[in-house]
Amino acid sequence: MNHKQIWRWRAALITFLILLVAGGFMLFKSSPLADWAAGDTQVKSIAVFALKGCGSCSKALEAMEQLEAETPAYRFQYFSISEDTEAVNRYGIIEHPTILFLNAQDEEVGRLTADISSERIMRELETLAEDPELVSPAQSTIISAVPSTMPSVTLHAYDPHSGLFTPVSQYVQADTAVRYAKVSAMTMLTQLGDLLPPELESAIPAGVTFVEIRTENGTTVVELSTSFRDFAASEEGQRAEQAIALTLHTFEGVHGVQVVSGSYRGSMLQAKDLAGRSDGKSDYLLNPAPPLPHITSVKEYNAAILHASHLAFMPCFCGCGDAGHSSNLNCYYARGDDGRLTPTTHAKFCQTCLDITNMYLDGRQQGLDLKDIRQSVDQAYQGIEPTDTPLPLD
């Protein structure tokens, strides 16, 4: 074979290899594998993460329902911030409402937060379709850690003896990193009645529930159930509005609070309108530092704040007397010189401590007095060394 034939064979082989590579590239480019390699940015479904009681979330849900009726090309998914915590954590949701645009693999290719409308969602869909290069690559699932410390809110209960309001700290159950403290505060305030110690009362009339919180022209508007209209403009109704306003004014950025119920719209209450309405007591307040690490026993820790003076008469039987505890209260908190409660993690890890607190709560629910509850606790743990706890006074 002469040199000319060899070069012809080489040229043919090179041409063949070039065509082979080009054909493989075109085949790869048109295959699903190419989409995976480049990042699939084609939106297949739209998901909303919303919270019941949030005004802007209600608007986002309305927008989603409108689009679902008008745009059948997409799959629409609805998630609850408080209930669908696995999805909330998986996608790293930290605000509500949040709209996610997902590809066929349920990976995020875009998101919207705040001021959600059907028009804004459609504009974002157009952007994702027309300018894929401007879109963030499809993201894998992102785990947002459950908060490392327990968030708390300051509610306001009514003291019938002084006619003033008493600030009360309560921990918020937090299974996600989403911030919804105001919604939690309003929900907890309307459900506070049966949890309070005998010396305090709920300022919210029985049967009245929290519906929604929203902002209108710079005013924080709280909507209550229509049953509140029976109390509107009455002394009991005014007391409820003041308790709500006092509670919300503990948050930054709240300048005025208005309570509405159906057609009723109360007066806007600013901080100056509430001067002198709080007694400023610290008996039921938490020390802001150190914070309490994340716990699951929120009910017991909150009860220990509200019933600290009574749990001080309940002994503990877990052996914590060796740690200097003098009552079941010390398993949860130490009271400082200023009267505030500093949390401890002891009860978080001790079922005995939690059981004794629940025995107290059950006895209280049955109408037993403090001495009878103490007697029941002593009998239940008879034979086990208790803490050196004083007996309740007659």
Report which of residues 294 and 66 the model is more confident about: 66
Angle ∠(279,230,215) on CA atoms, nearest 5: 65
Instruction: Give the closest residue to 258 by CA, choosing from 202, 225, 218, 208.
Output: 218
Predicted confidence (pLDDT) at residue 18 exceeds the cutoff of 70: no
Mean pLDDT in the chain?
88
Instruction: State the average pLDDT over residues 255-283.
Output: 96
pLDDT of residue 129: 85
User: Is the link from the previous residue into 290 a cis peptide, with omega within 30 of 0?
Assistant: yes
pLDDT of residue 28: 43
Predicted confidence (pLDDT) at residue 38 exceeds the cutoff of 60: no
User: Is the link from the previous residue into 97 a cis peptide, with omega within 30 of 0?
Assistant: yes
Predicted confidence (pLDDT) at residue 376 exceeds the cutoff of 90: yes
pLDDT of residue 112: 94
Instruction: State the average pLDDT over residues 194-202.
Output: 95
- Which residues, at least 6 apart from 186, have a Cβ–Cβ distance to it below 8 Å? 53, 210, 213, 222, 244, 247, 248
The rounded distance, in Å, linking the Cα atoms of 145 and 193 is 33
pLDDT of residue 40: 63
pLDDT band for position 70 (50/70/90)?
very high
Predicted confidence (pLDDT) at residue 364 exceeds the cutoff of 90: yes
Instruction: State the average pLDDT over residues 164-193.
Output: 91
Q: Which helix (H) or strand (E) holds 88?
A: helix 85-90
Strands 75-80 and 45-50, how do they pair? parallel
The rounded distance, in Å, linking the Cα atoms of 109 and 96 is 18
pLDDT of residue 94: 84
Label each residue of 151-183 as H, E or C.
Answer: CEEEEEEEECCCCEEEEEEEECCCCCCCCCHHH
pLDDT of residue 140: 46
Report the range of poorest mean pLDDT among 6-20, 95-109, 267-281: 6-20
Global pTM reads 0.80
The two structure tokens encoding residue 104: 């066929």
Amino acid at 40: D
pLDDT of residue 308: 96
Report which of residues 231 and 115 the model is more confident about: 231
Report which of residues 93 and 372 the model is more confident about: 372
Predicted confidence (pLDDT) at residue 191 exceeds the cutoff of 90: yes
pLDDT of residue 31: 47
pLDDT of residue 284: 97
The rounded distance, in Å, linking the Cα atoms of 62 and 56 is 10
Predicted confidence (pLDDT) at residue 25 exceeds the cutoff of 70: no
Report which of residues 171 and 32 the model is more confident about: 171
Burial classification of residue 277, based on how many CB atoms lie within 10 Å of its CB (0-12 exposed, 13-18 middle, 19 or more buried)? middle
Please identify which residue in the block is written with the tokens 């952007």: 127
Predicted confidence (pLDDT) at residue 15 exceeds the cutoff of 90: no
pLDDT of residue 265: 96
Predicted confidence (pLDDT) at residue 179 exceeds the cutoff of 80: no
Report which of residues 356 and 12 the model is more confident about: 356
pLDDT of residue 278: 97
Helix (H, G, I), strand (E, B) or coil at 50: strand
Instruction: State the average pLDDT over residues 296-310.
Output: 96
pLDDT of residue 115: 87
- What percent of the chain has pLDDT above 70? 86
pLDDT of residue 22: 54
Rounded to 5 degrees, what are φ and ψ at 285?
A: -110, 145
pLDDT of residue 83: 86
pLDDT band for position 20 (50/70/90)?
low
The rounded distance, in Å, linking the Cα atoms of 177 and 147 is 6
Instruction: State the average pLDDT over residues 242-262.
Output: 96
The rounded distance, in Å, linking the Cα atoms of 125 and 105 is 17
Instruction: Give the closest residue to 292 by CA, choosing from 245, 220, 244, 342.
Output: 342
Instruction: State the average pLDDT over residues 269-283.
Output: 96
Contacts 24+ apart (CB under 8 A), 100-104: 100/46, 100/47, 100/48, 100/49, 101/43, 101/45, 101/46, 101/125, 101/128, 102/43, 102/44, 102/45, 102/46, 102/47, 102/77, 103/40, 103/41, 103/42, 103/43, 103/44, 103/138, 104/40, 104/42, 104/44
